Structure 1
């Protein structure tokens, strides 16, 4: 009887001795943020939209993108691929904003340069989603509490 009680006590201790600071490997909040971003990207830029209205749709993706990136940072999942994808998105957004300003100045909501910039930004969003989903589904080795590594310049 004592052996059974001792075994039960040891099992309870071992079960309770996990690393309480380790993140949930399912990363449910990150999954929700990525789902929201994915839905927003899917709903943005309907076939009948002008590049100008599509650009406005893309502006609505800033908040879900920030939420997803915050989750990646909180779980210390950031890697060079995600940083590169975020940098690519930032560059694409800057180009799209510039193209939108120029299209407004010319009063041309169907400006081809704006259409190209919008398409490039959508591709950058898709790449970022792919990178963040990769991080969510394939967490780094270890317990997930290692420091974040930045790519070398």
Structure 2
């Protein structure tokens, strides 16, 4: 038997500090990883998860704020709640556009919300000028804007939960 020196191949060492067994185990791990990649195929894993969890969370917040905000109170107290809804809706719209989610009902609901906002702002100015916080057109404008938010929420939820197109997210890279 020959004595083992740190640089001797007989001792299982190939370089200072590294063993032949360690190199062999790393090589076997790498080969298993390559085989796993071949078995599963190369997929486009950068595609967003279907269901869009970030959009789902924002729509949930928008839905809760819509239910909790200005249920049956005076219209002038609803203005702040509607502005908070506007911020949530803007975030949801931004997320939908980021994911490239569009359909005609969504675009119509968005346009309807913009019109309802403009009408509410004009009716609020009229109510302030008349010094009548319960001015009927203002109450109707607030109710119309809340309805427009509900339509937008329904349209966003519909496009969020639509099934993905065939082959989406599974194309080769």
Pair 1:28-2:53 in alignment? yes
Counterpart Cα distance in 2 of 1:31 and 1:71:
10
- TM-score of the pair, normalised by structure 2: 0.73
Q: Is the 8 A contact 1:85 1:131 kept in 2?
A: yes
Question: 2:48 aligns to what SS in structure 1?
Answer: coil
Q: Deviations over 1:39-95 (max 9, x none)?
A: 111111132x11111122111112111111111111111111111100000000000
Q: Does 1:75 align with 2:99?
A: yes
TM-score of the pair, normalised by structure 1:
0.82
Q: Distance in 2 between matches of 1:97 and 1:137?
A: 33
Structure 1 alignment gaps of length 5 or more:
1-5, 145-153
Q: Which of the pair has the greater relative contact order for Cα pairs under 8 Å at 6+ separation?
A: 1
Structure 1 residue runs of 4 or more that deviate by more than 6 Å after TM superposition: none
**Counterpart-to-counterpart distance in 1, 2:152 and 2:111:** 9
**Does structure 2 retain, via aligned residues, the 8 Å contact 1:77–1:139?**
no
Residue correspondence of structure 1 range 4-153 to structure 2 within 5 A: 11-15=36-40, 17-47=42-72, 49-142=73-166, 143=168
Number of residues paired by the alignment? 138
* Aligned-pair Cα RMSD in Å: 2.1
